Amino acid sequence: MFGSLLIAAPMAGGTSTTALATAAASAGALGFLAAGYRSVQEVAEQIAATRAGLAGTSSFGVNVFVPGETGLDPAAAAALAAYRAVLEEEAQRCGASVGPIPQRLDDEWPEKIELLCQDPVPYVSFTFGLAPTGVVRRLQRAGSIVLASVTTTAEALAAQETGVDALVVQHPSAGGHSAAFLPAPGTSGQGFADAAELVRAVAASTTLPLVGAGGIGTPAQAKAALAAGARAVQLGTALVRTPESGARDLHKNALADPRYTETAVTRAFTGRPARALVNRFVREHSAHAPEAYPQVHFLTAGIRAAAAAAGDAGSLNLWAGTEWRHARADPARDVLAGFLKEL
C-alpha cells in the first residue's frame, strides 16, 4: 500500500520541501509535500520539482488542509477581538502589525483539488477534516491513493464512510497541529499512552490500512506502532532539524536547546490546537487564545515574521512533538535509513 514502512510526514509552513521528499525516497521511505498555506501555483511547482528529483522512479504524496466552518458566532467573534487587542501590544513591541485577515479562508481548496485531479500524484492525504466522498472518488479515479488523518476511533469511522483508502492515525503527542475534526472531551486520543495504543484501538474498529503518527522519535517506538497494527509510521518532528527541512534555523536550533524543557498544545499561534515547545508566547497567550482558525493564524503572521527576522524564538511557533529530544541534525536520508534498518 505505501511501498515502505516509513513516511516522512507532511509539514506545512515551509518545513516539507522537495529536497526532503526526494531524500525520503532515496532512503526507501515515502516522502510528502505539504500544500497547506501554499498557493496552488507553488504546489504545482513543488510537485513538478519533486517528480524531476525522483526521475519517475519513486513515489510521493501531497497533503491538503480541509477547510472547516470559518464563520464565527458572536461569542467567538468577541473572543477574537479581545485577542486581537492583546496581539496589538505584542506587535508594537516588535514593530510588526496584526493581521489582516484575508477574505478567502479556504486555503485555495477548490483549486488544489482541481490540480490534484488534473495532474494526479500517487498519494493524497487530508488533515483538519474530511474531504467529501465526491472528492475522494475523483482523486481515486485519477489514480491516487487517498488518506484521511484521524485522532479517534469515531473520526476513523467517519473517515471510512467517505471511501478513503487508508488512515493516518495521529496521537496527541504529535508536533504541529492536531488533525482532530470532531469535538472530543479534552484532547483527542486522550487515554491512549502513545501512537501504538491508539493504533491498536482504531485497528479494532476498521479494516482500513493505518499509518501510525505522533511521538515516534525512536525505532523502538516505530516498531511498537507497527506491532500494534500500523502498516507504516509517519515521522514529523524527527525530520525538522535535518538539512533538507525548510524549517527556520531558529526552530531547528530551539529543538536542540536545553533551555526548552517541555511541549504544550496551544491555540496561541493559529486558533487551532497545535503542539509546540513552550516558549514565552505559549506561556503568555495560551490561556486566552480563542478557537478561531485560520483567523488567529493570520493575526499572528506579522508578529511571527518579525520575530523570525529579529532572531526571537520566544515569539515563534516552534512546532514539536513530545519526543523532540530525539530529533537530529543529520541528513534526512540517514535519519530515515537509521529507522528503516531496525524495522
Ligand X SMILES: Cc1cc2nc3c(=O)[nH]c(=O)nc-3n(C[C@H](O)[C@H](O)[C@H](O)COP(=O)(O)O)c2cc1C
Determine contact, residues 327/216, Cβ cutoff 8 Å: no
Q: Which of residues 171-200 bind ligand X (CB under 6 A)?
A: 173-176, 179
Which among 8-16, 46-54, 135-143, 289-297 is the span making contact with ligand X, rule CB under 6 A? 8-16
Residue 284 φ then ψ, to 5°: -80, -25
Asked if 96 touches ligand X (CB under 6 A), the answer is: no
CA-to-CA separations, 206 to 125, 161, 209, 225, 233, in angstroms, rounded: 18, 11, 8, 16, 17
Cα torsion 203, 226, 321, 28 to 10°: value is -130
| Closer CB to ligand X, 17 or 98, in the complex | 17
CB of 76 to ligand X, least distance (A): 24
Asked if 323 touches ligand X (CB under 6 A), the answer is: yes
* C-alpha–C-alpha distance, residues 105 and 298, integer Å: 10
CB of 78 to ligand X, least distance (A): 30
Asked if 34 touches ligand X (CB under 6 A), the answer is: yes
Asked if 255 touches ligand X (CB under 6 A), the answer is: no
Residue recorded with cell 497547506: 36
Asked if 321 touches ligand X (CB under 6 A), the answer is: yes
Among 18, 152, 221, 237, binds ligand X (CB under 6 A): 237
CB of 169 to ligand X, least distance (A): 9
Retrieve residue 161's grid coordinates. 464512510
CB of 178 to ligand X, least distance (A): 9
Among 170, 242, 279, 315, binds ligand X (CB under 6 A): 170
Closest to 187 in 3D by CA, of 178, 196, 195 = 178
Asked if 46 touches ligand X (CB under 6 A), the answer is: no
Which among 42-50, 103-111, 213-221, 291-299 is the span making contact with ligand X, rule CB under 6 A? 213-221
Which among 85-93, 140-148, 262-270, 318-326 is the span making contact with ligand X, rule CB under 6 A? 318-326
Determine contact, residues 318/260, Cβ cutoff 8 Å: yes
Asked if 230 touches ligand X (CB under 6 A), the answer is: no
Residue 246's contacts (CB-CB under 8 Å, 6 or more residues apart) are: 14, 15, 16, 17, 20
